[in-house]
Structure 1
Amino acid sequence: MKYWLLPLCLLISLTGCSKDSGEKAVESYQQRLARVLDKPLPQTPVPAAPLLTEPRDLKQPLPDLRLDLTDTFATRHCGLDTLIGERNSSLGRVYSASKQLSYELRFLHQLAICLQKQWDNTELQRQLQQVYDTKQQSATLAFNNMLLTDDTLRKQLMGVRDSLPYNDKPGLSESWQALTALTQLQQFIQQQNWQAASSIDIEQQLQLLYQANLPGRLQYSLRQSSHQLSELNQMLAAVTPQSLCQPRADKQQLEILANIFSKFFIAQVQQYTVNLQQYQQQLWPLLQQLYAETPLNEALTARFDGNYQNMRRELAIHVKWWQDVNSQCPMQLTTQG
């Protein structure tokens, strides 16, 4: 089977330190090729990522509802007194967007139970029904406030200058689990299923994302690898396969190239792009579902899917160069299996 025909989804078994930087692996590969081919590697700045609107410009106020629930039945029998006391506490007044959402969902669930009870005070029942209707409409607003302004989620959306390793998949299952739970929460809110929505531990999902920090590292890795491969392709555009073999091939140079191809491109660079593809295919659809109807959708699509498509395009160009070299020179870039 020829190496260049290996699809991006092929998983190659490797051993080594799980912290090996994919960015450093591509950089080392760049430098090795530049040395053996005696060509200067372009030094161009990495394209800037599309800007994200600031949280202060995205957060929307929730309706300010005031209840004077002095009726014993409503506050104690329905369990609303505890929730109202929580919201009016010193901590409740400075809730983060995620804790505010959790509170709204728990309140809606408890209020739905309350309204199913038998009522003697119809005026209080009418008042509670009005609150319930208003809060149902504002639950999506509270959810979007969390998506757009929560510190943990913003870190994932802004990205960090930390590439993923080329031979490990740190935090993939945890990140997938957390984003899946948030998409389920989104669906429950759309369905006005307050019991199911309030049962999701939002803080736990955010903690999983914080610990793994995978989406933030993924978008940086996609953008950086795309740029590094583009620099390589610019350099190799001046190296035709025929020039390496005609009129007489430099056997030592070809042996070094074959070694670089096998040990550094296949074993590290291609493995890195394989991993990035797996991250992208599992996480981006979830992020896309969460942010499709938000003001950040266009910028996030460019940061994730746009960079991913650029990486694939540059990688295909690069593999084609190796294929052309192998067809012109006796390099035997093949493997058993």
Structure 2
Amino acid sequence: MNRLALANLRSVHLCLILQLTLTLFGCGKNNLEKTFDDYQQRLANVLDTPFVDTSFSNPQAHSLTLPSTTLRYPSIRELTTTIEVPLIDVKQFFALDRCDVNVLIAQRNTPLGRTQLPSVRYIYEHKMLASLARCSKLMPKHRANLNQWISQKQTVLPFVWANLVQTSKETINAFSNNSAFISSVSATDIQQTQSALTYLLHLKTTPQAPISAKELERNLEQLAKIHLPAKTWRTQALMAKELTSTTTWLKQQPLFEQCPNGQASQQITYLKNVFTLFFIEKIQPVGSDLNRVHYTLSPLYKTLSEQTELHTSFRRLLNEQNTTSFSAYQRAMKEHVLFWQQLFKHCSISPHT
């Protein structure tokens, strides 16, 4: 094979790789973003008018604050609660030789123990409470000190839990990952996310229940892997923005004039086909998935937001996404559907015909 043929073969190979890459990644756009682009462009093509996002130049629309598709998570420094550690002198430490609490104390004071992950720290504090309770029974001579430490540990445990929920890398990923939107949601993803959030809340409400470190890490990993809260929050923000801009633009077009005597023109018929192809068949199913996820997880977000040990900024994030942002999406969806219903009624056509 000569050099020219080899160069041509390499060129073909490179083109195939590039084509496959563009197919897989959609030129850098998510499927939902591309669907909205195509929807708006096809509407513009039918009307022979450029699509321009004028929703924010309209004073009425401008007064509506639409959520952002970029999730901004509070800083770890802001969210982290400093946990007060009870002081114990050397004499008290060695007096606990009949109890495993001194082993836990020694572990905590190693370099590794002083830099525990939030999940490891929660497991440690939980073990410490159980150990102190056993020691209190075994060593009545030291019961006063031990019970005092138990009381201190019980007081701080909810704040250790708050650090687990707010500052674990897995939960940060679940609540703030900016890499994806919903395209379709499996029942398994919803169930696993619901189960993981329920598990974290269960830790708070039943602090005496036994804990498996393996189970805790598994639930955290599920949240991080699926990151369903972040995907749904970004999706509802994108839907609110694009539906609002599309509806605003459509209202600026003289579409109702194209149905003389209540009869649809050919152009309106073409618009109906575009509406069916993109909104009914592609956008609305995403909205159905979004609603399904929201109504399943919303009670858990609400319960989390009511836990006063969690930082105000974290609770505000949950409330904004669970109520304000979702309401903005619902409003945009309702207004878009209402516009088409009014147009189709005026033109005596059905979107299903």
TM-score range, shorter chain: 0.7 to 0.9
Aligned partner of 1:260 in structure 2 is 274
After TM superposition, the runs of 4+ consecutive aligned structure 1 residues lying more than 6 A away are: none
Aligned partner of 1:23 in structure 2 is 33
Measure the CA separation in 1 of the matches of 2:191 and 2:254: 43
Aligned partner of 1:182 in structure 2 is 200
What secondary structure does 1:171 align onto?
helix
Cα drift, residue 327 of structure 1: 0.9
Q: In the alignment, is residue 55 of structure 1 matched against residue 76 of structure 2? A: yes
Measure the CA separation in 1 of the matches of 2:235 and 2:188: 14
Cα drift, residue 88 of structure 1: 2.7
- Whether the aligned pair in 1 keeps the contact of 2:301 and 2:322 (CA below 8 Å) is no
**Residues 74-125 of structure 1, C-alpha deviations (whole Å, 9 max, x = no match):** 445x4324423432333222101221112111211232233233x35x1x22
- Whether the aligned pair in 2 keeps the contact of 1:162 and 1:217 (CA below 8 Å) is yes
- Whether the aligned pair in 1 keeps the contact of 2:32 and 2:183 (CA below 8 Å) is yes
> Which structure has the greater CA radius of gyration?
2
Map 1:49-198 onto structure 2 (within 5 A). Answer: 52-67=73-88, 68=90, 69-71=93-95, 74-76=96-98, 78-117=99-138, 119-120=139-140, 122=141, 124-166=142-184, 171-189=189-207, 194-196=208-210
- Whether the aligned pair in 2 keeps the contact of 1:106 and 1:198 (CA below 8 Å) is no
Cα drift, residue 211 of structure 1: 0.8
- Whether the aligned pair in 1 keeps the contact of 2:67 and 2:240 (CA below 8 Å) is no
**Residues 11-37 of structure 1, C-alpha deviations (whole Å, 9 max, x = no match):** xxxxxx9x9733332332222222223
Unaligned 5+ runs, structure 2: 1-23, 57-65
Measure the CA separation in 1 of the matches of 2:186 and 2:209: 38
Assess, with a 3 A threshold, how the Cα gap between structure 1 residues 52 and 207 changes in structure 2: closer, same or farther. Answer: closer
Q: How many residues align?
A: 308
Cα drift, residue 149 of structure 1: 2.0
> Which amino acid in 2 is paired with 1:98?
S
What secondary structure does 1:22 align onto?
helix
Measure the CA separation in 2 of the matches of 1:196 and 1:239: 64
- Whether the aligned pair in 1 keeps the contact of 2:71 and 2:178 (CA below 8 Å) is no
- Whether the aligned pair in 2 keeps the contact of 1:23 and 1:225 (CA below 8 Å) is no
Measure the CA separation in 2 of the matches of 1:301 and 1:40: 38
- Whether the aligned pair in 1 keeps the contact of 2:298 and 2:322 (CA below 8 Å) is yes
Measure the CA separation in 2 of the matches of 1:83 and 1:96: 16
Whose helix proportion is higher, 1 or 2? 2
Assess, with a 3 A threshold, how the Cα gap between structure 1 residues 43 and 321 changes in structure 2: closer, same or farther. Answer: closer
- Whether the aligned pair in 1 keeps the contact of 2:53 and 2:249 (CA below 8 Å) is no
Measure the CA separation in 2 of the matches of 1:228 and 1:262: 17
Measure the CA separation in 2 of the matches of 1:27 and 1:169: 28
What secondary structure does 1:195 align onto?
coil
Aligned partner of 2:287 in structure 1 is 273
Residues 288-297 or 132-141, more deviating: 288-297
Normalised to the residue count of structure 1, the TM-score between the two structures is 0.81
Measure the CA separation in 2 of the matches of 1:239 and 1:168: 39
What secondary structure does 2:85 align onto?
coil
- Whether the aligned pair in 2 keeps the contact of 1:159 and 1:220 (CA below 8 Å) is no
Aligned partner of 1:37 in structure 2 is 47
Highest relative contact order (Cα 8 Å, sep 6+), 1 or 2?
1
Measure the CA separation in 2 of the matches of 1:155 and 1:278: 21
What secondary structure does 1:201 align onto?
helix
RMSD value, Cα: 2.9
Residues 249-258 or 84-93, more deviating: 249-258
Aligned partner of 2:237 in structure 1 is 223
Residues 245-254 or 105-114, more deviating: 245-254
Measure the CA separation in 1 of the matches of 2:137 and 2:274: 71
What secondary structure does 1:53 align onto?
coil
Map 1:274-293 onto structure 2 (within 5 A). Answer: 274-292=288-306, 293=308
Which one of 319, 325, 333 corresponds to residue 315 of structure 1?
333
Assess, with a 3 A threshold, how the Cα gap between structure 1 residues 314 and 87 changes in structure 2: closer, same or farther. Answer: same
Measure the CA separation in 1 of the matches of 2:228 and 2:273: 32
**Residues 271-324 of structure 1, C-alpha deviations (whole Å, 9 max, x = no match):** 111111111111232122123333122233223321111111111111111111
Map 1:195-214 onto structure 2 (within 5 A). Answer: 195-196=209-210, 201-214=215-228
Cα drift, residue 147 of structure 1: 2.3
**Residues 192-227 of structure 1, C-alpha deviations (whole Å, 9 max, x = no match):** xx2345678322211011111111111111111110
- Whether the aligned pair in 1 keeps the contact of 2:184 and 2:286 (CA below 8 Å) is yes
Normalised to the residue count of structure 2, the TM-score between the two structures is 0.77
Unaligned 5+ runs, structure 1: 1-16
Identity %: 24
Aligned partner of 1:332 in structure 2 is 350
